Structure 1
Amino acid sequence: MKFAYRFSNLLGTVYRRGNLHFTPDGNSVISPVGNRVTVFDLKNNKSETLPLAARHNITCVGLSPDGSLAILVDEEGAALLVSLIGKSVIHQFHFQKPVHCVCFSPDGRKFVITKDNVALMYHAPGKKREFNAFVLDKTYYGPYDETTCIDWTDDSKCFAVGSKDMSTWVFGAERWVNLIYYSLGGHKDAIVACFFEENSLDLYTISQDGALCVWQCDTDLDGLKPRPPKDRAEDKNESIENLGEEFIEEPKGEEIHGKATTNEKERRDKVKYSRAAKYFFNKEGDFNNLTSAAYHRKTHLLVTGFASGIFHLHELPEFNLIHSLSISDQRIATISINSTGDWIAFGCSGLGQLLVWEWQSESYVLKQQGHFNSMVSLAYSPDGQYLVTGGDDGKVKVWNTSSSFCFVTFTEHTSSISAVTFTSTGYVILSASLDGTVRAFDLHRYRNFRTFTSPRPAQFSCLAVDSSGEIISAGSQDSFDIFVWSMQSGRLLDVLSGHEGPISSLCFNPMKSILASASWDKTVRLWDMFDSWRTKETLTLNSDVLVVAFRPDGNELAVAALDGQITFWDHENAVQTGSIEGRHDLQMGRKELDKITAKQSAKAKSFTTLCYSADGQSILAGGLSKFVCIYHVKEQILMKKFEISCNLSLDAMEEYLDRRKMTEFGSMALIDDGAGDEDGVAIALPGVKRGDMSSRHFKPEIRVTCLRFSPTGRSWAATTTEGLLIYSLDSGLIFDPFELDIDITPSSVHKVLSQKEYTMAIVMAFRLNEKKLIQEVIETVPFDVVCSSLPELYVEKVLEFLASAFETSHHLEFYLTWAQRLLMLHGQKLKTRSGKLLPMIQFLQKSIQRHFEDVSKLCEWNRYNIKYALAISQQRGMKRPAETSVSEEELEDSNSDYLMEEASVHS
């Protein structure tokens, strides 16, 4: 149960490709991020990545009208039917070809998908269990080129499909006498979007060249006449359709070309469209194509996005421009409007941006962007409340672990970040970069207040800060030196020389002033910071050293080398205490262009990042692989392997060669199939060069660049090709009893509790270890009686429960009093075991600190409001009664007393 870590969230990646969706209540955005889906709760300022994954990157998302079901389709055409309530996969289906769009009908009974030039209508899965959730109803033919968009009428009677052949087709979802299909032209470029007007068959079509056509229909929705059921004799020739497919292929020419038919009455009765108006968007430049659009029927609001990052708001059908703004310098890939029409979500796949804009107040509701290139390094704050990441794009981002949002980005570096870390206070972030600087950032004022440089320009590859936060050291790639600075003065204290290769890793001993440096010269050197910066010891290994890490208590050193071995050292005596052969556990995948097998290529791989767990008993290791391994240090055995991704859109994921991609001329992976794609090289005609010819499609390789355990011990994080993955203990689904006897049951606990044997009741509840039962017992017993008589072993367990209870419970003062009494009575005894109890204490500190910040903001806000009200009343010349001033002072005193009490418990 100790290693029951499960995927809990994905940070650092907010949008990749595909379409965005608002939930029916309009408060959350569903965004595809690679092969996963993240739900951003805009009301509660939280995000959550669903614990499910497709086999390839998700390209389109369909959401049911009630918001309970979603269809996720990846780039290969494989679909997942997902329950957003249970957050699990209900059904899997393969459409055999890439799908361009998925859209549910407004009544939720059917959904349409488009692939190639065909539209397929399926029965939507119902409320009951069924063997096949996707039952094909009809197949619609019409467009000559690929289909691009779908839209339904409000009553689900008809739907429209746009195509790259510049036509839009209106199909009947049922058998109508006067509407089987209708084709609309009038555009000179591919159709980007088509929208029905509210409760009408009137249609808007928008093309890529920025043209908007308004189509009026001479028939209302109520004017559609159902076709009577066919006679069996007439239906004899259509017996092929008994498989559930209906091929609607009418003779071309009736409505489209206006030719006379044999039955003049039928021609007159059928639905007719006429173009009422045609408008053009103001384009800026030749390459400013219209890329996406969304329409809100109730407010008649049309939002259009362009390749230059500009979006327009128009009111239809008059085409009045309301608003125009540039929100990015990249192509706007998708737009979505919430149910009330107030918030507009934009996705930019080029930079991985997700923006939610409130157009009436002209303000951002959400503005998030991940790292443009891959993440390289991460670090937890000492209380586990924040995460800092550094990327190849030169940005340093700080994330809140509870809300999963980035709240500050530092862009002072001009080259890629190689390492980031927090100081012991948790309010200063240090980052090293290949631009030759180490920078210190203040989390109070959000500014870069120190910049450390070397006498000669050097590229810094690693970084370490001592436990006091006063000494900063960074290793160089090119000069093989270690530079040491003072945080207070910002001056260079010393340059440590001795290594004969690039410095790969630095780590300070948490308990002593000893610095361990690893280098490609096959040595690890230990430097004493207080003894004239001399080399205290040199540890020699058999291969290039890649990373070093100290155990949290400082008594052990772990070293990972290029030969795939992890060795453990007693650094005081320079004695190796153990080793782990980790090469077989990496299980490297095969790249598309590899000439050798995955098994052979894994022989040359090694771990590039190490991290001890919070209690120091196990170690995490990762490298150029999709696996993260956790080892037991003392037993030197593999405890568990975590597969961080199953995304086959990334390279080095498959174990064996794919024979389907092999030809007599070599691998098909050598062919750049991005030509002609909307994101790739755009070549319209021979001899015409348009677009960026250097653009190429590539598959990023799966890798783990950095691993860190949370100081609370409840989770660990990994920076990977996909983003920042968080794995945490899912305590709600784990039955983990402690010294359980056959007599201990919930009924016996209740019986002891009714007899007022409070200490025994708590002990029995913790031995059974059911969270609801523990909460019931603790909230029942008087803490004055129990705290003094509680055994020492159960004091730790009560404190750990209190720390987890702070995250969900509203009984803040009650649990604070419990924690204060326990720490006051048993603090001296707990000091003797401070090393093992440190994760639990930090977990408690993180929970109290978060409440402290929230309550202090509320109290400050209340004080401000009261002072403001008093000032206004004084300005108006109103005399305040004596009791008003007294009550205000009492309220201030109560606020300050409450904050002081919480601060004392926190300290």
Structure 2
Amino acid sequence: MKFSYKFSNLLGTIYRNGNLVFTPDGNSVISPVGNRITVYDLKNNKSRTLSLESFYNYTNIALSPDGSLLIAVNEQGNAQLISMVSCTVIHRHKFQTGVQCITFSPDGKYFAVARENLVLIFCSPGELTGEYNPFVLKRSFLGGYDDITWLDWSTDSKLLAIGCRDSSTKICAVNHTRNFRTYNLSGHTDAIVSCFFELNSLHLSTVSRNGQLCLWECSVEPSDLIEVSQAKAEPLPPLAKRKAPNTQSDSESEDDIEGNLEKQKMAVKDETEDQNQVKDESAKKSHPFYYKKLGRHYLANEPRKEKRDAMLTAANYNRHTKVLVVAFSTGAFYLYELPDVNMIHSLSISDYPISAALFNSTGDWVALASREIGQLLVWEWQSEQYIMKQQGHSSEMTCIGYSPDGQYIATGGEDSKVKLWNTQSSFCFVTFSEHTSGVTGVQFSRNKKFLVSSSLDGTVRAFDIIRYRNFRTFTSPTPTQFACVAIDYSGELVVAGGQDVFEIFLWSIKTGKLLEVISGHEGPVTSVAFSPVATSSTLISGSWDKTVKIWNCLESNSEHETIDALADVTCVAFSPSGEEVAVATLVGNITIFDVKSATQVNTIEGRSDLGSGRLETDIVTAKKNAQSNYFSTIEYSADGECILAAGKSANICIYNVREAILLKKFEITQNHSLDGLNEFISRKHLSEFGNMALVEQREEGEGGKVAIRLPGVRKGDMSSRRFKPEVRVFSVRFSPTGQAFAAAGTEGLCIYALDKGVVFDPFDLTLEVTPKAVHEALKSEEFTKALVMSLKLNEPNLVTLVLERVPYRDIELLCADLSPDIAQRLLQHLARLLQSSPHIEFYLQWSCCLLNTHGNRDGVFQHTALLALHESISRKYEMLNKICDYNKYTIRVLLDRAEQLEAAKGAEAEQTTNEDSDSEMLLIKSTEDKGLECEFSEESDEDTEESDEEDKDDA
């Protein structure tokens, strides 16, 4: 039960090959990653990989309109019907050859499969069709004279557009109609890449590989198509009526299709022409069906003149927004608005061809994927922002390292890049590209503030995780290729071993100066490790000179102790206690030594546990190959009881240190698209000239590429040749919390985690401990008894129920009554609950009371439980920190806006008051002026009267 690890997630590999699919809500994109399927949740910024896998790489996937069914087909033609609700395989079907494309109809009743130049239409299982047998064949069509490249359904699911490599497009009806026959469209000069129906219309757009876009107008509306009823329909060939309830009958029907297709085609054609000539004459006169070409456009013609070898590789059309995206082999993509064909956006994302392009349901986001570099990005074209931009290592991932709390994983690859991955969201959030050659080792510091990496470019670099920058670069006096790196417990010293210069170099992190050059090995230094104990400065180094040396870095570089390993050392690892060291050698053994006495404690014989495999180009047998197997990477578990080991094989082994026995073995992949999984070569690959894999097979149209690798190449081929990558595991690491381990292999970074929700793992169980007794204790409010019994049963749901029934004020008293063993188990449950429960303050109170009560006792809490609690609290802090910051800044903006509004209102009120006062002053002034005018007028009247009297007197 302790080692019930199951596949949890796949990191480091984003996209391999095939098409992309958006979910119906448009918030998630589904990508085929080798022989697995990954779902990227763009809204919640998370990704998950389905636990199911195929025996070969997936090439085509299709999702039903309701999002409940997924059909995935691999390169050998094996199809899987997958339920997205339970994430399990419902049914399997075998096609005779590989499948070019597969798509569901808009109403969800049918799905069409293109195989070579043949189109097969199957009924979808479910309530819509009333058919629950999967892969029931309804009809079949002959496409063109060459392979089919694209399929598209009309909005009403009555017609199907078939694009072919022979530059023709064919329109076929799913059901028999009176006024329609199969219609062929021609006019392109290169292979058809895609073709699309308009929304609620039969108008069509076709795009070819040389960048030509043709717009076609249909003479009839979808409502004019009259389907023949089932009773009056023309008799179908026996082949099309046959239903296949199982895989065997399906394969037989497809064989019949291939054998009798030409005969049936001629017979059905003559019969249909005679019947249509008599029955549908009036319908043809009233609604003649034909297509008219509205125009031909050359997409991205000006940029492509500079690069004449640029070809259109992918295209997609959104019917609602009427926006077309086309992608080219130069890494550029363009957005056009139809039917005017106006370019509205253009962008170049890389120098490599874009393999897939897809709009989501709303048309706001466009997903683009490149097979050459394993890149997947989602672009919002209206705001010109990246919704997601992820890219894995373009070559093999050679080394990994866990952060001290298990929240981050650092990976280094032969593409000279160091990437940081979040284990919670499974996304890469920063990439360091300062190295100029392959990265050979990465390790985090204890305080999780920085990490160091060694490279074959002769540098050891220190990267700041908080500010995402390279703040130290360590070099040697003479150019040296570094094969390994390590940091001491305090984080002040960094050491690296040379591959071509057989010396060990010691630097200071703070000053960046070279402190010592430690000499003593006579071969390449393959692995170095510092003691994990805070009070020790012991350094262990392993070399190809068949020795392991123990150094004391703080005292003198000349003082060391040599241990003879009897074979070339490939890896060394310290136990968590710092008292033992494990050494993996080239003979396939793992030897345990005591550090203080330098004596051998135990030996693990593991060569036969790695398993045997034979490459396609191997001359020797798999049994002979097994004799050269060895472990290239080892790691102690968090408690020091077990060792995780892997090497040139698909198997990962867990050994018990004391008993020296194999506890469990994991097979990281079943992908036979990789080389080295089979023990025997199939007879169909053998000919009179020998193994066909050893014969160069030149392919037409591919520039004379050959199918075998260069001599001596193991990890990657930098030439233009094609070959199957070899299965192997480069590095394994246990999570510091002990709940998971990571393995970097050919497939990517596989995460295996404990799934305790399914496993019954009780502790100190007695007859009295039952779920019924727990519920009875809760009813009688005996919380301590109920909690102890639930922890002994070790059922998460029951423990959660008991914890949440305990009153908040009684938590401290209840923690004081628990024994150390029960307290240890309770802390593990609290660490798990803090990740998913919304009752954060409640469980934080539990954690504080438990740590305050039992934390001062030595040995009560294991290091793994404390790390798990720290990881959960760190994740919660990061998640709440963003919410709190958002709320804080939003409140600040609202308060500032309120102040501005109040200031504006005050200014308006003051202005109004000033205007009122001014009007009053003007009114008063005008009144006074009027009073003065009155006085002046009275005085003038009196003067006139006096003057009149004087005049009278004078008279």
Both proteins in one fold, TM over 0.5 = yes
1:271 aligns with 2:289: yes
Equivalent position of 1:711 in the other structure:
736
Deviation of the 1:530 alpha carbon: 2.0
Q: How many pairs are equivalent?
A: 863
Equivalent residues of 2:300, 2:334 under 8 A apart? no
Partner-residue secondary structure (3-state), 2:352: coil
Equivalent position of 2:107 in the other structure:
107
Distance 1:239 1:698, change over 3 A: closer
CA–CA distance in structure 2, aligned partners of residues 879 and 173 of structure 1: 67
Deviation of the 1:670 alpha carbon: 3.1
Distance 1:580 1:873, change over 3 A: same
Partner-residue secondary structure (3-state), 2:856: helix
Within 5 A, what are the aligned runs for 1:543-554?
A: 543-554=567-578
CA–CA distance in structure 1, aligned partners of residues 722 and 459 of structure 2: 33
Equivalent position of 1:614 in the other structure:
638
Q: Which of 789, 814, 829 lines up with 2:817 in the alignment?
A: 789
More moved, 656-665 vs 355-364: 656-665
Equivalent position of 2:24 in the other structure:
24
TM-score relative to the length of structure 1: 0.92
CA–CA distance in structure 1, aligned partners of residues 651 and 428 of structure 2: 26
CA–CA distance in structure 2, aligned partners of residues 132 and 864 of structure 1: 56
Within 5 A, what are the aligned runs for 1:261-340?
A: 268=285, 270-283=288-301, 284=304, 285-340=307-362
CA–CA distance in structure 2, aligned partners of residues 590 and 226 of structure 1: 57
CA–CA distance in structure 2, aligned partners of residues 351 and 615 of structure 1: 39
Q: Which runs of 5+ in 2 are unaligned?
A: 244-252, 271-275, 707-716, 907-955
Deviation of the 1:221 alpha carbon: 1.1
CA–CA distance in structure 2, aligned partners of residues 860 and 678 of structure 1: 54
1:520 aligns with 2:520: no
Distance 1:183 1:680, change over 3 A: farther
Q: CA RMSD in A?
A: 2.4
1:249 aligns with 2:277: no
Amino acid of the residue matched to residue 605 of structure 1? N
Q: Residues 383-442 of structure 1, C-alpha deviation per residue, up to 9 Å, x if partnerless?
A: 000000000000000000000000000000000000001011112010000000000000
Distance 1:857 1:243, change over 3 A: closer
Equivalent residues of 2:123, 2:131 under 8 A apart? no
Equivalent residues of 2:195, 2:205 under 8 A apart? yes
Within 5 A, what are the aligned runs for 1:567-586?
A: 567-586=591-610
Distance 1:165 1:671, change over 3 A: farther
Distance 1:551 1:677, change over 3 A: farther
Deviation of the 1:611 alpha carbon: 0.6
Partner-residue secondary structure (3-state), 2:903: coil
1:832 aligns with 2:859: yes
Equivalent position of 1:4 in the other structure:
4
Deviation of the 1:840 alpha carbon: 0.7
CA–CA distance in structure 1, aligned partners of residues 228 and 900 of structure 2: 76
Equivalent residues of 2:416, 2:437 under 8 A apart? yes
1:36 aligns with 2:36: yes
Equivalent position of 1:385 in the other structure:
407
Equivalent position of 2:397 in the other structure:
375
Deviation of the 1:724 alpha carbon: 0.5
Equivalent residues of 2:397, 2:412 under 8 A apart? yes
Q: Residues 748-800 of structure 1, C-alpha deviation per residue, up to 9 Å, x if partnerless?
A: 11111222222111101111111111111111123132011111111111111
Deviation of the 1:251 alpha carbon: 8.5
Deviation of the 1:678 alpha carbon: 6.6
Equivalent position of 1:13 in the other structure:
13
CA–CA distance in structure 2, aligned partners of residues 673 and 117 of structure 1: 24
CA–CA distance in structure 2, aligned partners of residues 328 and 563 of structure 1: 45
1:164 aligns with 2:165: yes
Deviation of the 1:8 alpha carbon: 0.5
1:720 aligns with 2:719: no
Equivalent position of 1:753 in the other structure:
778
Equivalent position of 1:221 in the other structure:
222
Q: Residues 347-391 of structure 1, C-alpha deviation per residue, up to 9 Å, x if partnerless?
A: 110110000000110000000000000100000000000000000
Equivalent residues of 1:371, 1:395 under 8 A apart? yes
Partner-residue secondary structure (3-state), 1:473: strand
CA–CA distance in structure 1, aligned partners of residues 902 and 242 of structure 2: 84
1:740 aligns with 2:768: no
Deviation of the 1:239 alpha carbon: 4.5
Which has the larger helix fraction? 2
CA–CA distance in structure 1, aligned partners of residues 670 and 130 of structure 2: 28
Equivalent position of 1:46 in the other structure:
46
1:822 aligns with 2:822: no
CA–CA distance in structure 1, aligned partners of residues 623 and 132 of structure 2: 40
Q: Which runs of 5+ in 1 are unaligned?
A: 255-259, 683-691, 882-907
Partner-residue secondary structure (3-state), 2:195: strand
1:764 aligns with 2:789: yes
Within 5 A, what are the aligned runs for 1:809-888?
A: 809-829=837-857, 831-833=858-860, 837-874=862-899, 878=903
Deviation of the 1:679 alpha carbon: 9.8
Equivalent residues of 2:11, 2:427 under 8 A apart? yes
In percent, how many aligned pairs have the same letter?
A: 48
Partner-residue secondary structure (3-state), 1:408: strand
Equivalent position of 1:201 in the other structure:
202
CA–CA distance in structure 2, aligned partners of residues 501 and 445 of structure 1: 38
Distance 1:697 1:132, change over 3 A: farther
Q: Residues 608-644 of structure 1, C-alpha deviation per residue, up to 9 Å, x if partnerless?
A: 0001111111111000101101111111111111010
Deviation of the 1:214 alpha carbon: 0.7
Amino acid of the residue matched to residue 37 of structure 2? V
Deviation of the 1:321 alpha carbon: 1.1
Deviation of the 1:71 alpha carbon: 0.6
Amino acid of the residue matched to residue 23 of structure 1? T
Distance 1:176 1:564, change over 3 A: same
Partner-residue secondary structure (3-state), 1:475: strand
Q: Residues 310-358 of structure 1, C-alpha deviation per residue, up to 9 Å, x if partnerless?
A: 1111111111111111112111101111111111100110110000000
Equivalent residues of 2:10, 2:751 under 8 A apart? yes
Equivalent residues of 1:64, 1:70 under 8 A apart? yes
Distance 1:266 1:221, change over 3 A: closer
Equivalent residues of 1:423, 1:429 under 8 A apart? yes
Within 5 A, what are the aligned runs for 1:355-374?
A: 355-374=377-396
Deviation of the 1:745 alpha carbon: 1.7
Equivalent residues of 1:612, 1:709 under 8 A apart? yes
Equivalent residues of 1:588, 1:624 under 8 A apart? no
Partner-residue secondary structure (3-state), 2:556: coil
Partner-residue secondary structure (3-state), 1:205: strand
Q: Residues 232-257 of structure 1, C-alpha deviation per residue, up to 9 Å, x if partnerless?
A: 9x95x955655346857369999xxx
Distance 1:677 1:350, change over 3 A: farther
CA–CA distance in structure 1, aligned partners of residues 704 and 91 of structure 2: 33
Deviation of the 1:597 alpha carbon: 1.3
Q: Residues 786-833 of structure 1, C-alpha deviation per residue, up to 9 Å, x if partnerless?
A: 01111111111111100000111010001111101111111111x335
Equivalent residues of 1:589, 1:655 under 8 A apart? yes
Equivalent residues of 1:681, 1:693 under 8 A apart? no
Amino acid of the residue matched to residue 196 of structure 1? F
Deviation of the 1:869 alpha carbon: 4.1
Distance 1:136 1:867, change over 3 A: closer
Equivalent position of 2:529 in the other structure:
507
CA–CA distance in structure 1, aligned partners of residues 170 and 200 of structure 2: 18
Amino acid of the residue matched to residue 174 of structure 1? N
Equivalent position of 1:539 in the other structure:
563
Equivalent position of 2:929 in the other structure:
none
Equivalent position of 2:182 in the other structure:
181
CA–CA distance in structure 2, aligned partners of residues 473 and 645 of structure 1: 35
Equivalent position of 2:156 in the other structure:
155
Equivalent residues of 2:138, 2:240 under 8 A apart? no
Equivalent residues of 1:142, 1:249 under 8 A apart? no
CA–CA distance in structure 1, aligned partners of residues 510 and 148 of structure 2: 63
Q: Residues 707-743 of structure 1, C-alpha deviation per residue, up to 9 Å, x if partnerless?
A: 0000000000010001100000112211111111222
Distance 1:568 1:677, change over 3 A: farther
Within 5 A, what are the aligned runs for 1:632-781?
A: 632-673=656-697, 675-676=699-700, 681=705, 695-781=720-806
